[in-house]
Amino acid sequence: MDRDVTAILLEAKVSKPLKIAVLGFWHVHAGDYARQTQEHPGTELVAVWDDDPALGQPGADQFGVPFGDDLDALLSRADLDGVIITTATNAHRNLMIRAANAGKHIFTEKLLAPKVTEAEEIIAAADGNEVKLVVSLPRLSHGYTKAIRDVIDSGDLGKLTYGRVRLSHDGAVPRDGTKGWLPDRFFDQKAAIGGALTDLGCHPVYLLQLFLGADPDTVSATYRSVSGRGLEDNAVVTVGYRDQKIGVIEAGFTSPNPFTIEIFGTEGSLTYTDADYVLRVAGPAFGGEARELPVPEPGKEPFAQWVDHITEGTRADDNLARAVELTRLVQAANQAAAKGRTIAYTTK
C-alpha cells in the first residue's frame, strides 16, 4: 500500500475512537479496563458480553452500555474494532481464537492461556488475522522496573546471585462476616486453573524473568491454603539457574504485605518496596553505603500500548514473548506443586 494512503488511513483511525466491547466480567479487573476504555480519548466502550448474565448485566449497567448474550452477533458487528477479554482463564483460548478469526483486536488479562500450546495458538490466530494482541503485564512499564533494569545492566551489582519478588493482598481474609473480597470463582480449579500463583503471582513471575532471565533449569513450588477455599492462597516458587542464581517468587491472598523486590549480586544489593516507594542500593559502586536512587515516572500502561499498536499497525513483540514465557513458568510451577518435588524446566 502507498505510504501516503497508509498515513491517511492511520490518521482517520486515530481521529475516530475505536469501538471496544468487554467480553466477560468474571475477572475482578474487568471494570478497571472498562473504565480505561471510557477514559482513553482513542476508545469508546460500546457493549458488554458474558455467558453469565448475573456477571455481565451489572457490568453493562455500571458503565451505561448494552449487555448482550449473543457472542456471534457481537463479533459480527462491522463497527466493532476490538475486545477486552476478562473471562475465566480456561475460556481464553477458544474465545480469543473466535475474536481473532472475526478480525477483532484483543486486549486480555493475564494469563494469556493455561498452557503454552494454547498461548501459541492464540498468537498464531491473531497474527494470521492481522489482529493486535496485548496481554496486561502492567508492572513492566512501572518506573521502578526501568530503574532496576538500569542498575542490573550497569553491572554495579556484580554477578547476580539471588532475586526475590513478593506480591500479596488480603482478598481471602474473612472480614465482616464474609470470606473476603475475592470472589469464590477465583478458587474454582476448572475456571481459574490455579490460585494465588496463577493470578496475582503472574506479576512477580514476569518481573523475575525480566531481572534474572526466563531460562532457569529447575523449578519447585510450595502451595498452601490458609483460608481453606480450595486453591492455594499462599505460594512460593523457587527457580534455579545454570549459572547458580536463585530466584524466588511469592504470592498470596491472605496478607496485605508491601510489594517487595530484592536483587543481590557479588558486588552489591538492591531493594524496592511500595511501603515507601523507595529504591535502595548498596555496594562498592555506590560509595560503600546504602543510598536511594530516584524512581522514574511510569511509562504507558498496557491498555494504552494496545491502542497504539492498533492505530500504528505494529505488533507487540516483547509483550507477546513475555506472555508466553509467563505461561510457561506458571504451568511448570503448578506441575511442580502438584508433584511435590523439584522438576526440570524447559523453554521448549
Domain at 13, CATH number:
3.40.50.720
Q: Are residues 333 and 209 in the same domain?
A: yes
The pLDDT confidence band at residue 197, using thresholds 50, 70 and 90, is very high
The answer to whether residue 2 scores a pLDDT higher than 50 is: no
pLDDT band at residue 257 using 50, 70 and 90 as cut-offs? confident
For residue 197, say if its preceding peptide bond is cis, omega within 30 degrees of 0: no
**Are 89 and 75 found together in one domain?**
yes
Do 293 and 146 fall within a single domain?
A: yes
268 in a domain, yes or no? yes
Domain end marker among 138, 159, 193: 138
pLDDT value, residue 289: 86
**Residue 4 pLDDT greater than 60, yes or no:** no
Residue 14, exposed/middle/buried by CB under 10 A (0-12, 13-18, 19+)? Answer: middle
* Residue-level pLDDT at 134: 98
- Are residue 124 and residue 153 in the same domain, yes or no? no
Average pLDDT on 116-127 reads 98
Last residue of a domain, which of 105, 138, 171? 138
In a domain, 321, yes or no: no
**Alpha helices for the chain (secondary structure H):** 3-15, 30-39, 53-63, 71-75, 92-101, 116-128, 143-154, 189-192, 202-212, 302-312, 317-339
- For the chain, what is the domain count? 2
Flag whether 242 is in a domain: yes
Same domain, 132 and 280: no
Statement to judge: residues 82 and 212 lie in one domain = no
The pLDDT value recorded for residue 165 is 98
Please tell me whether residues 30 and 148 are part of one structural domain: no
Q: Per the domain annotation, does 319 fall within a domain?
A: no
Q: What pLDDT digit, counting tens, does each position of 144-158 carry?
A: 999 999 999 999 999
Q: How many degrees, rounded to 5, is the angle at CA 210 between CA 209 and CA 213?
A: 55
Rounded to the nearest 5 degrees, what angle is found at the Cα of 221, between the Cα atoms of 181 and 26?
A: 30
Answer yes or no: do 226 and 255 share one domain.
Answer: yes
| pTM for this model (two decimals) | 0.94
Question: Which range marks the domain in which residue 231 is found?
Answer: 140-302+329-344
